[in-house]
Chain A
Amino acid sequence: GENVEQHPSTLSVQEGDSAVIKCTYSDSASNYFPWYKQELGKRPQLIIDIRSNVGEKKDQRIAVTLNKTAKHFSLHITETQPEDSAVYFCAASITTSGTYKYIFGTGTRLKVLA
């Protein structure tokens, strides 16, 4: 079935360094790729998303890139800060039997060390 693989599962970086999280999806028809941030004990919140007709999208220190041919998409966080510490989830849209939903990756726990 469809799946989304996410790597790494944990990532530690020094404050000010960059962090990169990568996801691979299996359904070539996927056309929407959101990224969610989940702080401890909180709900997942959307931080950035990208559609299949765009190769890159940036919002301040956060950027997402998409390679449709390779079915890869990545989250890039520059100038990391302690408040970036959280679990990050990628997702890919899938359409099954005419209905539309997401498949989530397994998450990356990011620790930004001060």
Chain B
Amino acid sequence: NAGVTQTPKFRILKIGQSMTLQCAQDMNHNYMYWYRQDPGMGLKLIYYSVGAGITDKGEVPNGYNVSRSTTEDFPLRLELAAPSQTSVYFCASSYGRGVHTDTQYFGPGTRLTVL
């Protein structure tokens, strides 16, 4: 299994540009998450999904959108990039909720800079 994969690894955007961060998992996990990690800081939840067709907002959803059309994929969309969105973005997944299924597995991250 490849686990959780993310593309691209690095990206530089100009203010106002749009882009989609891709995330895929091949572990048949139901839950998927998007976090952002600002330099020297912890992880903040942007959006999450408990299954295909179901998404919900986390702590910091403004400026982002998500979709979950399949179990495997959970793309994150930035519509109008702003310097405040400069961060490292991590996607994560877990099987579900309950004993032995809570653990979240993280992708390698996407480092985004908005200039």
B1 to chain A, nearest CB (A): 15
Instruction: Return the CB mask of A92-114 against B: 1 if under 8 Å, else 0.
Output: 01000001111011110000000
Query: Secondary structure at chain A's binding surface: helix, strand, loop or mixed?
Result: strand
Residue positions of B touching A, CB distance < 8 A: 31, 33, 35, 40-45, 48, 50, 56, 58, 90, 97, 99, 102-109
Q: Across the interface, name the chain A residue whose C-beta is closest to B97.
A: A100
How many Å lie between the Cα of A7 and that of B112 in the bound state? 28
Cβ 8 A contact of B102, one of A36, A89, A93: A93
Binding site for B on A (CB under 8 A): 6, 32, 34, 36, 42-46, 49, 51, 89, 93, 99-102, 104-107
CB neighbours of B106 from chain A (8 A): 36, 43-45
Residue of A nearest to B96 (CB): A100
Please determine whether B58 and A101 come into contact, CB atoms closer than 8 angstroms. Answer: yes
Residue in B35, B43, B56, B97 whose Cβ sees the most chain A Cβ within 10 Å: B43
> In whole angstroms, how far apart are the Cα atoms of A43 and B106 in the complex?
6
The residues of A that contact B45 with a CB separation of less than 8 Å are 101-102
Known: A44-B43, A101-B58. 16 other contacts (CB 8 A): A34-B103, A43-B106, A43-B107, A43-B108, A44-B90, A46-B103, A51-B99, A93-B102, A99-B50, A101-B33, A101-B45, A102-B45, A104-B42, A104-B43, A106-B41, A107-B40
In the bound complex, how far is the Cα of B114 from the Cα of A50, in angstroms? 38
Of the candidates A43, A45, A49, A107, which one forms a contact with B109 in the assembled complex, judged by CB atoms under 8 Å apart? A43
Asked if A101 contacts B43 (CB within 8 A), the reply is no
- 17 A-B residue pairs with Cβ-Cβ distance under 8 Å, sorted by A, are A34-B104, A36-B106, A43-B90, A43-B107, A89-B42, A89-B43, A93-B102, A100-B50, A100-B97, A101-B45, A102-B45, A102-B104, A104-B35, A104-B42, A104-B43, A106-B41, A107-B40
Knowing A43-B90, A43-B109, A44-B90 are in contact, say whether A107-B42 is a contact too (CB < 8 A): yes
Q: Would you give the shortest CB distance from B113 to chain A, in whole angstroms?
A: 15
> What are the 7 tightest A-B residue pairs by CB atom distance, in nearest-first order?
A43-B106, A106-B42, A104-B43, A100-B97, A104-B42, A32-B102, A107-B42
